[in-house]
Structure 1
């Protein structure tokens, strides 16, 4: 992808200047002051803590919009349904987690980064990708990395909530995390645990589910975990040779 050139000035590809966590808090301020009303951009900037519409406030408003949390433009802006799902639902709720996943992948650059680094990456790896593949200007790289890492942390936190839930039982299951690849399971699968016990996590390139589901409550936990982990899967399964 070539660098954008406007009036002879070279620019990096578009990206949010703040991460998803910050964007959620910014749109929360707008929602608390004006709910779902359509208001001028100047009012949005004031709600976010800026005195005027300037370069800094426009950059933040643009970033919140790139995550799909604000809609509209010069004629007025409003909080979106996606933002509402994040703001009104408790952490771990399926609608909130789905909205967060969609928001995290809404900026085109972040969608590419999640695809390129599904298990996380160092700052240097992301820097090389931005400079070499995306033709970023060096000055923009630290801001883009910080925004992406913040966004990835929000997604990870939601997935961790899916996995842990409110279960106070013994902590004897595998420690599955989003940012580190897991060791593939052995060729011979271990015996299934008794009814009512199950393990779920991300192993290799697939979601691993082992065990038996013995209640509606446990079924809901499995569905939430799968919803939180599915963004790590490829868009479609690879065809196996005949």
Structure 2
């Protein structure tokens, strides 16, 4: 019987990821390098399922950018490793990389403070993780949370941009229409296509459709959001789409026997 695969999640915690990217930076400096070199610096003799899982984790945190033969250590990774320990640049870079993995964002949206191990494990189980995957993912997230808390003090999510001028419904509608037009232009430059989506999906009471359109004759998109969406949120979304595009272009890692944790690779 096939094993249930857990949702994508970094295979290592943020502390281990920072230590790994430090080894890569030591060898490659700020230049570009192939994934084969990255695998070697991470202690592997070849590019395989385990090394690709670690490389994917570094990219999921935003510590590594690019793909294939064009990998590079990110500016956030360099700030974390080289900026003064108390500098705002280092603190903000550390906050950003902690908030980059999509599943980390979902957990942070659900729990403003640090959840208990048992609570988080149960939430992950409900989110689609198998029992073993939920245990490992909970440990990875909580270890990463502790690292950020130790370096930043009491962890708080990045503040939302002030929207005092957006209190009235009319003002919000005008702003969101402007953002939607910008998103439509940018999304089409990434995906191609245009027009209206053919298939309607259910939207909850707290959600709304910001934009929709066609990606091809067989595919369409529908951007469903909740809360305030401004320039900052759109820029973050575009960065995540570019990262997802790079990840999808990578070959799937070859599975290796004896370690279910590869199922959590991003």
User: What is residue 210 of structure 1 aligned with on the other side?
Assistant: none
Structure 2: runs of 5+ lacking an equivalent: 168-266
Does structure 2 retain, via aligned residues, the 8 Å contact 1:118–1:232? Answer: no
* Structure 1 counterpart of 2:80, from 51, 76, 86: 86
State the alpha-carbon separation in 1 of the partners of residues 21 and 158 from structure 2.
27
Q: Summarize deviations over 1:36-95 as a string: whole Å, max 9, x none.
A: 111110100111121211111111111011000101222331101111111111222100
Cα deviation for residue 232 of structure 1 reads: 7.0
More helix by share: 2
Q: How many residues align?
A: 165
Cα deviation for residue 10 of structure 1 reads: 4.0
State the alpha-carbon separation in 2 of the partners of residues 79 and 232 from structure 1.
23
Does structure 1 retain, via aligned residues, the 8 Å contact 2:6–2:128? Answer: yes
TM-score (norm 1): 0.62
User: What is residue 143 of structure 1 aligned with on the other side?
Assistant: 136
Task: Let me know the Cα RMSD of the aligned residues.
Answer: 2.4
Larger radius of gyration: 1
Does structure 2 retain, via aligned residues, the 8 Å contact 1:67–1:106? Answer: yes
User: What is residue 111 of structure 2 aligned with on the other side?
Assistant: 117
User: What is residue 182 of structure 2 aligned with on the other side?
Assistant: none
State the alpha-carbon separation in 2 of the partners of residues 60 and 233 from structure 1.
30
Q: Summarize deviations over 1:133-167 as a string: whole Å, max 9, x none.
A: x111122112211210121012101223xxxxxxx
State the alpha-carbon separation in 1 of the partners of residues 118 and 81 from structure 2.
33
User: What is residue 26 of structure 2 aligned with on the other side?
Assistant: 32
State the alpha-carbon separation in 2 of the partners of residues 96 and 143 from structure 1.
28
More strand by share: 1
TM-score (norm 2): 0.57
Alignment of 1:62-77 (within 5 A): 62-77=56-71
Does structure 2 retain, via aligned residues, the 8 Å contact 1:30–1:48? Answer: yes
User: What is residue 56 of structure 1 aligned with on the other side?
Assistant: 50
User: What is residue 9 of structure 2 aligned with on the other side?
Assistant: 15
SS in 2 for 1:106: coil
State the alpha-carbon separation in 2 of the partners of residues 235 and 153 from structure 1.
26
